[in-house]
Amino acid sequence: MSTPATSAAPAAPAAAPKAPSSPFMNGNVIDGKAVAAKIREETAAKVAELKAKFGKVPGLAVVIVGERKDSQTYVRMKKKACEEVGIASFGADLPDTATQDEVLAVVAGFNANPDVHGILVQLPLPKHIDEQAVLGAISVEKDVDGFQPLNIGRLAMKGREPLFTPCTPLGCMVLLERCGIPIKGKRAVVVGRSNIVGMPAALLLNKRDATVTVVHSATPKAEAEAICLQADIIIAAAGQAQLVRGSWVKPGAAVIDVGTNPIDDKTKASGYRLVGDAHFEECKAVAGAITPVPGGVGPMTIAILIRNTADSGERFITGAVKVSGAGRQRKGLAKLIPTREQLASPLPLLAAAVGVAAGAVLQRATAGRR
């Protein structure tokens, strides 16, 4: 007799993606505070070593224009972080009525100050001040925020490295790396294309050999979802509360949430709570790793800032000021004929050399391009 046919056993349900094993993760949730604390600890050790060997410490100058409460809060946090690791703090607190030339003069002063190794201009600036002109005036060797055009340009170029990288995007990369999440050869999607986070994050992922796609406000929502579903890594930086849903996330993908958005919540004394650009609970149920808001990317921004400042201080204090593949330290004219060894000086320094107000020079330079 023939054996009766038996139906195939039902397929076992797919196992839940296993989160990377890391001391900086609780299940599949990345602890940004713990990673940031480790970076601060490493930075404090470097600062202490510089002080012991050379009797000097790195210095950070913060320029703030106006009285925005959020900006004032951020500046206080940065000064406190400097104190905790032994970095010297310098500051210039200018009124809303400060002119662009006055801001440029302050930046030029810090450029020339040998005790200042990092300069940060707190954004946003008042509308009457050209943000790009001010950022472009910061010495490339002291641009610890990473927004000076030369640093951004080097970040975008193959075979070049910037002296400094914007702190929040670099913080995202460090979170991935410290948690053992691979980037090379992976598909990465950046949601958002801002100059502060989105585009630098895409450039950093590209430098780390990921295959990168950027989706933004002009990308149809259905298409954005389909693209994200293919990603091994999603950087959510659109500035839109809970835009990235669980249905957008491939099982096991890493979701790095840069957003900080207030939404109404009557259960809170403040009447609101902070959420990210990703829907945390939905995405957490699918992702292999995810950052919370708050407590994820946020703590990394200041940690990277003080690390950048310590690195800059080390270059100046040791006399190295050495850049690998990113260009050279600005030199004085040794010859009457300019060479590639001589980087262009910031506008305020050129203006001061010829006794002309920087704002007037900028106005004349741009008049012919309008």
In this structure, the dihedral spanned by the alpha carbons of residues 155, 156, 160 and 164, taken in order and rounded to 10 degrees, is -10
Question: Is 78 an annotated catalytic residue?
Answer: yes
| Calpha distance 215→294 (Å, rounded) | 24
Among candidate residues 31, 100, 122, 284, the one labeled active-site is 122
Which CB contacts under 8 angstroms, 24+ apart, belong to 240-243? 240/277, 241/275, 241/276, 241/277, 242/275, 242/276, 242/277, 242/278, 242/279, 243/191, 243/277, 243/278
341: tokens are 């060894």
Cα 194 to chain centroid, rounded: 11
Q: Measured on CA atoms in the order 140, 365, 358, 62, is the torsion positive or negative? A: negative
Cα 348 to chain centroid, rounded: 26
Among candidate residues 78, 142, 186, 207, the one labeled active-site is 78
Among candidate residues 130, 145, 257, 277, the one labeled active-site is 145
Question: Is 96 an annotated catalytic residue?
Answer: no
Contacts of 11 (CB under 8 A, 6+ apart): none
Helix (H/G/I), strand (E/B), else coil: 237: coil
Question: What's the angle, vertex CA 168, arms to CA 322 and CA 48, rounded to 5?
Answer: 50
Question: Is 122 an annotated catalytic residue?
Answer: yes
| Calpha distance 207→161 (Å, rounded) | 9
Asked whether the beta carbons of 261 and 241 are under 8 A apart, the reply is yes
Contacts of 296 (CB under 8 A, 6+ apart): 30, 32, 175, 256, 257, 276
3-state helix, strand, coil in the chain (%, to 5): 40, 15, 45
| Calpha distance 112→107 (Å, rounded) | 9
Residue 216: CB atoms within 10 Å: 14
Provide the annotated active-site residues: 78, 122, 145
